[in-house]
């Protein structure tokens, strides 16, 4: 099969479109013929070597977590799916991923893709939605009438988090720089241009901060939380000591909800019109280096999808 592999850590130039062995489905596994995949900030971090202490990767490595495609074969013990099914999932976090013509996934982590979406748009869902879902619903238990500040609210995780927060009945503050109109379309109650306004000057006493940026943005976020509030980060473990000093809580999102059941529920929400995925750019898999460069420039909104043509 054709795949994009890295043979060492580095910049986007280490991504190589080349021949690779096609995997076969083992017990409990599903082999998916990939129609579309994506690039997330997680993939850029893994490519650069920032994740090596968390994941025991070996080279050559195929990156990519999101996939929408067709079941090619199922392994022993898989009864929920059959060849020909249209499915989607998050795969490859701990092993070879989806930037390829075929990818393996555990059957328990696969779901039927939303019927209302094509593969391009379905591929945009898994990673960002599972991340936002766990942060807001499982960790924060965000409830009606609460307030949340979402940093990088126009990005992949951010634009889903905004919609989930509004569905939960929360008031949403969101930061961005060049995509403020997009935030308004999503339903953000107050969009903040971080290039011209310090968010801590206009936000206070929020129940939840979702930190998708890290560094000094995270440090400045402690002061806007109400006592007992929670700061959740997907990019940088928040300091337990700092949280204690501010009388608040903290969590670092480094796990995942039950993937198959959650994606099944998400698919229903998408088909019911409750959740909309924004795809800003579609590129062929061969142009993955461009996609990584766009992600690292940090001004994308929605998702970048890679189309796989067999």
pLDDT digits (tens, 9 = 90+) for 1-14: 999 999 999 999 99
CATH number at residue 30: 3.90.180.10
As a whole number, mean pLDDT of residues 195-202 equals: 96
Q: How confident is the model at residue 257, as a pLDDT?
A: 80
pTM of the model: 0.94
Among 63-77, 211-225, 273-287, 291-305, the least confident range: 291-305
189 and 91 within one domain: no
| Residue 162, domain member (yes or no) | yes
116 and 92 within one domain: yes
| Residue 74, domain member (yes or no) | yes
As a whole number, mean pLDDT of residues 193-208 equals: 96
Domain around 17: 2-125+277-307
Q: How confident is the model at residue 133, as a pLDDT?
A: 97
Specify which residues 224 forms β-bridges with: none
228 and 290 within one domain: no
CATH number at residue 150: 3.40.50.720
| Residue 244, domain member (yes or no) | yes
| Residue 301, domain member (yes or no) | yes
| Residue 260, domain member (yes or no) | no
Question: In whole angstroms, what separates CA 203 from the centre of its chain?
Answer: 26
217 and 196 within one domain: yes
* pLDDT for residue 251 is more than 80: yes
Q: How confident is the model at residue 199, as a pLDDT?
A: 97
133 and 118 within one domain: no
| Residue 262, domain member (yes or no) | no
44 and 88 within one domain: yes
| Residue 158, domain member (yes or no) | yes
* pLDDT for residue 260 is more than 80: yes
148 and 79 within one domain: no
146 and 53 within one domain: no
78 and 157 within one domain: no
Instruction: Please state, in angstroms and rounded to a whole number, the distance separating the CA atoms of residues 176 and 301.
Output: 10
164 and 244 within one domain: yes
239 and 163 within one domain: yes
191 and 170 within one domain: yes
Picking from 237, 252, 267, the residue at the C-terminal end of a domain is 252
C-alpha distances out from residue 49 to 42, 52, 58, 59, Å:
11, 6, 11, 12
Picking from 252, 267, 298, the residue at the C-terminal end of a domain is 252
Domain count, the chain: 2
For residues 78 and 38, the answer to whether their CB atoms sit within 8 Å is no
| Residue 263, domain member (yes or no) | no
């Amino acid at each position: 099969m054709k795949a994009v592999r890295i043979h060492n850590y580095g910049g986007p130039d280490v991504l190589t479109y080349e021949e690779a062995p096609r995997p076969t489905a083992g017990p409990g596994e599903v082999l998916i013929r990939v129609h579309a995949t994506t690039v997330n900030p997680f993939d850029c971090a893994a490519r650069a070597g920032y994740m090596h202490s968390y994941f025991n990767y070996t080279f050559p490595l195929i990156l990519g977590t999101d996939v929408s495609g067709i079941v090619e074969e199922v392994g022993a013990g898989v009864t929920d799916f059959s060849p020909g099914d249209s499915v989607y999932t998050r795969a490859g976090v701990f092993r070879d991923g989806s930037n390829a013509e075929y990818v393996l996934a555990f059957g328990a982590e696969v779901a039927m893709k939303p019927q209302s979406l094509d593969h391009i748009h379905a591929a945009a869902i898994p990673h960002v939605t599972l991340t936002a879902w766990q942060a807001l619903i499982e960790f924060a238990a965000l409830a009606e009438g609460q307030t949340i500040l979402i940093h990088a609210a126009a990005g992949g995780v951010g634009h889903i988090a905004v919609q989930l927060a509004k569905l939960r009945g929360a008031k949403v503050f969101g930061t961005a720089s060049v995509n403020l109109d997009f935030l308004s379309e999503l339903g953000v109650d107050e969009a903040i241009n971080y290039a011209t306004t310090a968010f801590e000057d206009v936000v206070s006493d929020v129940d939840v901060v979702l930190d998708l940026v890290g560094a000094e943005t995270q440090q400045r976020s402690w002061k806007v939380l109400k006592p007992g509030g929670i700061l959740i980060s997907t990019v940088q473990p928040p300091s337990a000591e700092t949280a204690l000093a501010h009388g608040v809580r903290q969590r670092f999102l480094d796990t995942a909800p039950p993937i198959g059941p959650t994606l099944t529920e998400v698919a229903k929400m998408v088909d019911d019109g409750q959740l909309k995925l924004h795809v800003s750019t579609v590129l062929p898999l061969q142009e993955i280096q461009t996609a990584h460069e766009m992600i690292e420039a940090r001004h994308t909104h929605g998702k970048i999808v890679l189309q796989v043509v067999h």
